Amino acid sequence: MTFSNRISKNKTLQSQRIIPIIQRKSQSKLIPFQGTIDYKNIVLLRKFITSEGKILPRRINGLTAKQQRHMAKAIKNARMIGLLPFINKSQPSQ
């Protein structure tokens, strides 16, 4: 049986693997958020949406996953109540 040979080949392949270390470029992120997220705090919520009214992704705004979920829910609640617009109509349409 060549079963034992197969194991030794896999071990030699694993020892020769080189894993490169890739350094990520630092992106300009917003100031880390500290405080409570509330749908009534429009000044705070406007910092986390684009000029078009879209919610900024987590990799840009620097929030944790839990904070991003709460921020998205607060923005959506504020939109439903009418405190934030769904889209920004001041932009000229093309």
pLDDT tens digits for range 43-87: 999 999 998 889 999 998 888 999 999 999 999 999 999 999 888
Radius of gyration of the chain (CA): 24
pLDDT value of position 16: 62
The domain that holds 48 is classified in CATH as 4.10.640.10
For residue 81, being part of any structural domain is answered with: yes
Within-domain flag for 71: yes
In a domain, 78, yes or no: yes
Q: Is residue 42 part of a domain?
A: yes
Q: What is the pLDDT of residue 87?
A: 84
Q: Is residue 69 part of a domain?
A: yes
Q: Residue 49 forms beta bridges with which residues? A: 55
CA geometry: angle at 65 spanning 63 and 69, to 5°? 95
79 found inside a domain: yes
Q: Under 8 Å CB-to-CB from 23, ≥6 apart: which residues?
A: none
CB 68 within 8 A of CB 38: no
- Cβ neighbours of 62 (radius 10 Å): 16
Residue-level pLDDT at 81: 95
Report pLDDT for 4. Answer: 57
pLDDT, greater one: 12 or 68: 68
Q: How many domains does the chain have?
A: 1
pLDDT the model gives residue 19: 64
Residue-range definition of the domain harbouring residue 56: 32-87
* Cβ atoms < 10 Å from Cβ of 51: 9
Q: For the chain, what is the mean pLDDT?
A: 77
pTM, 2 dp = 0.61
